[in-house]
Amino acid sequence: MNEEIYKNFGIDSELLALAGEVEKEVEPIFKEIEKTCEFNSLKVLQAFQHLHISDMHFNSTTGYGYGDIGRDTCEKVFAEVLKAEDALVRGQFISGTHALTVALFAFLRPGDTLLSITGKPYDTLDEVIGITENPSSLKSYGVNFEKIDLIENEFDKEAIKTRLQQGKVKLIEIQRSKGYSTRKSITIEKVKDIIAFIRNFDKEVIIMIDNCYCEFVGTMEPLEVGADVIVGSLIKNLGGGIAPNGAYIAGRQDLVNLAAERLTAPGEGKEVGPSLGITKSILQGLFMAPSVVASSVKTAVFASRLLERLGYEVEPKYNEPRADIVQNINFRDKEKLIKYCQGIQMGSPVDSNSIPEPWDMPGYTDQVIMAAGAFTQGSSIELSCDGPIRPPYTAFMQGGLTYEYGKFGVLKAVQNIM
């Protein structure tokens, strides 16, 4: 029965047969993903029950948002789940990049040094930092930026040690997910190890983790292994495909307060900011997030093995440990990258008849092709695939609200390049 309906969608029998073989191969890995999902689901449920979430927390506020009990309790839920002293969870954040920008401007002052120890951050931070000139950048305010590249996917401990011994660094930034690079994403074990290493030389430096794409992929989050603050988007993992926008900053209470006063105004901070009816969606999204993230990871594992069987370079491989929901596929061919992304769009529930093309997207130095037939514009937890039009022509695929939808999207994309 399923084979017949797949054929109606243009998926041929040979590809379906290969998909069946792949699913048998990855079955043990799927079972481990399900165990992680169960652990994180219970962690979320425990926080909901502990904080007595009820219908009254879904009420909307407008205007200044004074005394918004739903908003405030929602932030307590996030703080408990993420093991934070406090959390700022707001629909006023436009994106993960916006939340990272707010955090960096909140924590850094003229003359301070920001040090990235995972190389150059994601492309959309280039103008925020001042790598690309912008009169509103951190650089324009006198904040210095330095970076230390990874060496064969490992932290360069000698270079980090040398830099910390040379002079004061105010903030160390670690981007766990790979962004538009071909390096491996950073596992929580590596985060724990490098934080312990840094603390041997500087106990005061703020360690901030860009945790986008990484939440709930494992059973621990960076604050549990010594990070001071973490930042992420709600149209990625923790929004569960339900939150329509927003992001979070969580960690030390003093740092969260600084971020809140940068987002709103000094002296007002977390006390203002109307929920505008979004709290229910944010909480429901968090409730669904463990299951949705598990589906996304399953989709990535399936795609990794299927594309590897077809002869493409993939990272990570299907049986490697994962730190995030992102799957790299190196096509080494511009047209195949474009056709794969277009196939993902064809397999989407929204705008499946649209044909994405590379374009000059704001915040990026190269043309980018982006496929995402999503209910929420730009949502990366829904099946999406994008990549910069530059060698080695790598597709960065992520998401999948359910494994079944994710699997179909991958098959449609593969069929489009065969």
Quick: pLDDT tens for 5-60: 888 888 999 999 999 999 999 999 999 999 999 999 999 999 999 999 999 999 99
* Tally of CB atoms within 10 A around 252: 16
Distance of alpha carbon 105 from alpha carbon 98, whole angstroms? 11
- Radius of gyration (Cα) for the chain, nearest Å? 21
The 10s digit of each residue's pLDDT in 23-35 is 999 999 999 999 9
- Return the pLDDT at 361: 78
Same fold flag, 2-43+286-417 and 51-275: no
- Return the pLDDT at 68: 96
Give the sign of the dihedral formed by CA 33, CA 2, CA 285, CA 235. Answer: positive
Confirm if 129 and 141 have CB atoms less than 8 A apart: no
Kindly report the three-state secondary structure assignment for every residue of the chain.
CHHHHHHHCCCCHHHHHHHHHHHHHHHHHHHHHHHHHHHHHHHHHHHHHHCCCCHHHHCCCCCCCCCCHHHHHHHHHHHHHHCCCEEEEECCCCCHHHHHHHHHHHHCCCCCEEEECCCCCCHHHHHHHCCCCCCCCCHHHCCEEEECCCECCECCHHHHHHHHHHCCCCEEEEECCCCCCCCCCCCHHHHHHHHHHHHCCCCCCEEEEECCCCCCCCCCCHHHHCCCEEEEECCCHHHCCCCCCCEEEEECHHHHHHHHHHHCCCCCHHHCCCCCCCHHHHHHHHHHHHHHHHHHHHHHHHHHHHHHHCCCEEECCCCCCCCCCCEEEECCCHHHHHHHHHHHHHCCCCCCCCCCCCECCCCCCCCEEEECCCCCCCCCCCCEEEEECCCCCEEEEECCCCHHHHHHHHHHHHHHHC
The 10s digit of each residue's pLDDT in 227-281 is 999 999 999 999 999 999 999 999 999 999 999 999 999 999 999 999 999 999 9
From residue 181, give the alpha-carbon distance in Å to each of 177, 238, 311, 314.
Answer: 9, 23, 21, 13
Q: Is the pLDDT of residue 365 over 80?
A: no
- Return the pLDDT at 397: 96
- Return the pLDDT at 4: 85
The 10s digit of each residue's pLDDT in 206-227 is 999 999 999 999 999 999 999 9
From residue 7, give the alpha-carbon distance in Å to each of 4, 11, 307, 418.
Answer: 5, 5, 20, 15
Q: Domain limits of the chain? A: 2-43+286-417, 51-275
Task: Among 3.30.1300.10, 3.90.1150.10, 2.40.50.100, 3.90.1150.60, name the CATH number for the domain at 2-43+286-417.
Answer: 3.90.1150.60
Confirm if 367 and 222 have CB atoms less than 8 A apart: no
- Return the pLDDT at 1: 61
From residue 167, give the alpha-carbon distance in Å to each of 107, 112, 412.
Answer: 18, 11, 53
Cα 185 to chain centroid distance, Å, stands at 11
Q: Is the pLDDT of residue 408 over 90?
A: yes
**Residue % of the chain over a pLDDT of 90:** 91
Q: Using pLDDT thresholds of 50, 70 and 90, give the confidence band for residue 378.
A: confident
Task: Among 3.30.70.141, 3.40.50.970, 3.40.640.10, 3.10.20.30, name the CATH number for the domain at 51-275.
Answer: 3.40.640.10
**Residue % of the chain over a pLDDT of 70:** 100
The 10s digit of each residue's pLDDT in 310-358 is 999 999 999 999 999 999 999 999 999 999 999 999 999 999 999 999 9
Give the mean pLDDT of the chain: 95
- Return the pLDDT at 363: 66
Query: Is there a cis peptide before residue 392, judged by omega within 30 degrees of 0?
Result: yes
Q: Using pLDDT thresholds of 50, 70 and 90, give the confidence band for residue 65.
A: very high
From residue 170, give the alpha-carbon distance in Å to each of 140, 199, 224, 411.
Answer: 17, 13, 21, 47
The contacts of residue 366 (CB under 8 Å, 6+ apart) are 388, 389, 390
Whole-structure pTM value: 0.95
Q: What φ, ψ does residue 63 adopt, rounded to 5°?
A: 60, -130
Mean pLDDT of 347-374: 88
